Every structure is written in C-alpha cells, then in structure tokens.
Structure 1
Amino acid sequence: MDRLDYRIVEHFTANPGTSVLAASRELNVARPTVQARLNRLRDTGILVEILPKLAPEPMGYPVQAMVMAQIDQSAWHGELHDNLLEIPEVVDCSTMAGDWDLLIRVVAKSNTDLQRVIDKIGTLDPIERTTTSIVLRELMRDRMLPLMDVATSESTSK
C-alpha cells in the first residue's frame, strides 16, 4: 500500500459511482494503473467493496438502535445468520466476546416499529436474551480511510 493507493481509495470513497476512467483523469494516473491498483487492493483483502452510503432516514427509517444478544452456546446457530438476513431492518451484525454474543444494528420506522423488529429478533433460535439501546445521533461510521492514510504515510516514511 502506498500514497497512490490511498488517493485512489479516497477518490472512490468520496465518489462511489465514478468510473475508473473518470478517476484516472481526476487523479492524473493512467486508467490501467488505477484498475490494477483496485484489483490488487481487492485481491489482498484491503478493499472489500466501494458502495454508496445509504441513509435510512429518507427511506422512512429514522429510528436506529443497537441490539445486543446472548445466544445459547450449546446450540448450533448456522441458521441464525440466514434468519437475520430475512429481517430487512437488520443492517449490520457482528459477533462479540464478553457479556453479549452479537451486536445487531437495526433501523425502524418508529419506536413501535422498533419493538416489532426487536420482538422478531428475540424469537430467533438460539437467541436467549436481548437488550437494546436507541441511537440518538451517529457521530461517525465506517471510518477506515484515516487508518489507510496513517498506514500509507508510515510506509512512505520508512
């Protein structure tokens, strides 16, 4: 990874719908170079995907919450992932170590709708218990670009 990789990722992060050709013109880099760099970043697993960031509020989902769940550790829970995918209001899910096993980010149309979503999650096997915190305001999200900035700055200063 170097500063050109950073500039390319920064450009696509700011302009996710742009073409490789447009990015190469904007960055003053040959199109095959931009494409090769994107391919290498994908192949190494650094770049997972470049997607537009969607805001749930304009789509009618102004309520956001974090649902922490404990699951039955003795149960096979391979179906849990698929069952969570069946709930469109579930937008992120991570496994965790500690008192809670899952952190599930959900959106809802209202507090009443949030209760429906939480109840639906609570009925899934092997979920045993949940607790929910409503998000008041999102301060930052998916903040990886500063890490890449530091990593590429350190690699060029060595």
Structure 2
Amino acid sequence: MTAVQDVQLDRLDARLIDLLAAEPRIGVLECSRRLRVARGTVQARLDKLLARGVIRGFGPELAPAAIGFGVTSFVTLEISQRHGHDPVAAHLRQIPEVLEAHTITGSGDMLCRIVARSNADLQRVIDQIVSYEGIARASTIIALAEQIPYRVLPLVRSAAAGGPTAGGKSS
C-alpha cells in the first residue's frame, strides 16, 4: 500500500476539515476555540494533514458557470500509443478550459472534464484538444445538470467514523 492509502483520519481530523471547508478563512486560534482543543493541537493536526497530502490547498472554490463557462462536458480521448499519456497531458495543460484529466481503463485512454461558454465554443475547445497529433479520437458527452457537485466531506466523515474501507470491511 502507498502512504496515501494508509492515511487514517480520526474524528478530530474530520471536525477540523469540516470547519475549514465551511470557513476557509478561519484562523488556527478560532479553530482551536470552536473545536475545544489547544491551539498547538490544531496546528499540529493541520501540519500533518498538509504534509500527508490530505489537505491540498485553501483556495476559493469557483463555479465556472458564474464566470461565463456554462457548458460542462466530459471528453474521452483515445491516445496514439507511440505518443503516450504524458505529452497529451502536457498539451491539455495548455488549454484553460480543461479542468481535469485522468488516465482511465476501458474503451478510452484519458477522461477530461472541460468547460465552454456555449455549445459553439465547446466545438472550439474540442478542436483545440484534438489538434494534437497524439490524440487519435475524442468522444464528448455534454452534462445537462449537476446532480451531485464534487465533494469529499462525506468521505472524510465516513473514514473518521470507521466506515467501510476499500476492501469492503469496516475498520
């Protein structure tokens, strides 16, 4: 197992993450007051969560639609095997509308979440994506409505409460 898989969270970690998610600008002293633990405890927990990669940042969460990118779609890419994933990922990083990309199993090689200002603009973004010679084919699905936004807090709460593990057993 990798170090990330071995990370354990307890209820205090979960409460701290919950508090930071609800109020990202809250200070360590206020966290300690609300959690009813010493300031040093909060700072040590926060440092550990950051060092282990559990918390990756404190930046604002943005809604692409609120800044003019109202079309969300998912694009499955088939990649020419002689080019590989890394050069394709480097190409995709240059396109601001590509929000994330993952290598995948199945019929495609990479799955991307992209945004655009309109359906016509989506065509421009897709054309830009497939302009790289390492991409053999793209298949696009347009999202109609977000039913469950990206979330991790329920997962944190479950992990801290000893919920099901990857093997399906409770810890």
The alignment's TM-score, normalised by the length of structure 1, stands at 0.89
Please list every run of 5 or more consecutive structure 2 residues that lacks an aligned counterpart in the other structure: 1-8, 164-169
User: 2:100 matched to which residue of 1?
Assistant: 92
What amino acid is the match of 1:81? Answer: A
Pair 1:27-2:35 in alignment? yes
What does 1:9-88 align with in structure 2 at a 5 Å threshold?
Answer: 9-88=17-96
- Matches of 1:10 and 1:50, distance apart in 2: 13
Larger helix proportion of the pair: 1
The alpha-carbon distance between structure 1 residues 150 and 76, as it changes in their structure 2 partners (threshold 3 A), is closer
Distance apart, 1:77 and its partner CA: 4.2
- Matches of 2:36 and 2:108, distance apart in 1: 48
Equivalent position to 1:140, from 134, 148, 152: 148
1:15-70: per-residue Cα shift (whole Å, max 9, x none)? 22322223223322222211210111122232233332110111011111111100
- Matches of 1:2 and 1:125, distance apart in 2: 48
User: 2:167 matched to which residue of 1?
Assistant: none
- Matches of 2:70 and 2:46, distance apart in 1: 34
What amino acid is the match of 1:42? Answer: L
Do 1:17 and 1:52's aligned partners in 2 also have CA atoms closer than 8 Å? no
**How many positions carry a matched residue from both structures?**
157
What amino acid is the match of 2:66? Answer: P
**Which SS does the other structure have where 1:53 is aligned?**
coil
**Which SS does the other structure have where 2:72 is aligned?**
strand
Overall identity of the aligned pairs, in %: 43
Do 2:92 and 2:129's aligned partners in 1 also have CA atoms closer than 8 Å? yes
The alignment's TM-score, normalised by the length of structure 2, stands at 0.83
Equivalent position to 1:112, from 114, 120, 131: 120
- Matches of 2:43 and 2:133, distance apart in 1: 44
Pair 1:123-2:131 in alignment? yes
Do 1:77 and 1:125's aligned partners in 2 also have CA atoms closer than 8 Å? no
Do 1:66 and 1:135's aligned partners in 2 also have CA atoms closer than 8 Å? yes
What amino acid is the match of 2:74? Answer: M
Distance apart, 1:147 and its partner CA: 1.7
RMSD (Å) for aligned C-alpha atoms: 1.9
